[in-house]
Structure 1
């Protein structure tokens, strides 16, 4: 027990033992500065200095731009650029997907291949079909008040606005004899109209030319995109008067009758009409006589 007490006293004496640190002039040995030190206050002071340096370094890294020079840290500007690039990439992916679907529809129009189409209109109509008996058609008090207010306003309205017609009217692209009609079972999604060579072919409605090129099977082909997802297709033309990207008006001449391409037996127009990626019978909308 006494040994332990003596050992503790010895440690305490060493920690508290005073030392003198003197700074002298080397030439004259004149005393300039002197410090009274002990092991304990040297240890405490050194520890506090180290903690202070660590804290100061942490603050500099966390709250100043100096952290940008440390490997592993990114600047605010780089983070903003990365975020913007992420948003742009996401937008580009969406645009690319939409473009791919659009080009797939154009490919189907050119090849007449609709077997891979995943859209089943009958199933969609069945899915969203409503049962009238399940709908409560009793007008509410607010609905009745609104109807009365609108009727009162219309009573004294001197000018009636004609609602724009949403029905699309198609202009005949060509007058002639139909040699082959639309037949979905035989995958003939068009009508073939016979006419003399060089007879002008006109666009059926306002739109934009999205394809105007030569193909080996159908010769000179021009495809026009109209509103509401409708495409009109003109194949086996002798020549084209419009290029891709041109705007055309209803009844404007876009091509001439020809006999180009492998799948043709004489001068005629192979005309197709597509509605949102599905072929429709052109004679249901256009009178070719």
Structure 2
């Protein structure tokens, strides 16, 4: 059979004669003239028609469920999208709970205020009130720092609403935007190592920490329920409980943390526990 098909294929453009003999009447015969090319075209045409019919049956009849269920695929795709959104919301809630817990801890540690004066300033204030203290023993720099700190405490900076939009907290270029769906709740500002970054509004330091992923992390509480978060800092010049004014230097940026891909500063802005797009609050100077 294979040899017969092979000969037909090799002689497909030649006209062949097909002769049929009757075993009971050998003398009678019937002959047919044809070209193998026509036979092959008929075979390919029939095969194409069969494939089209099978494809239509699979696409538009219940037989498709035996091979592929489009509704199940759509449901799986929707479930994956919903799962990602739920995970993003859960991350947001976890971050909010962490910040609230840190704020409660700071508030609980003070009697009359959430923000305590550092021991250095308190010691200088006590010395200044002492009658036996000579004026020369306190340096001019320490007095200036003490008065500045006290002025801030009594100025009720948390009664005023922060002014936005304001300039970037650091000189640099925005390289990655706000994308809460992927867990990126702020923006990245590329800069050079050692560049100082500043506070964007009056507030107080409610958390300062070092993490493997983000390096030094700083949280600042402002009025109107706003919290700013700085990550990937190489160093910090403020501590928990310090009062800061807009423009005060908070530290320096660097390429710090496992998740850092280069020298930059990451800044987040939260309001009442909900992440905000920093681009709505910041403008490049």
TM-score by length of 1: 0.43
Q: Select the structure with the greater relative contact order (CA < 8 A; seq sep ≥ 6).
A: 2
Q: Which has the larger radius of gyration?
A: 1
TM-score by length of 2: 0.44
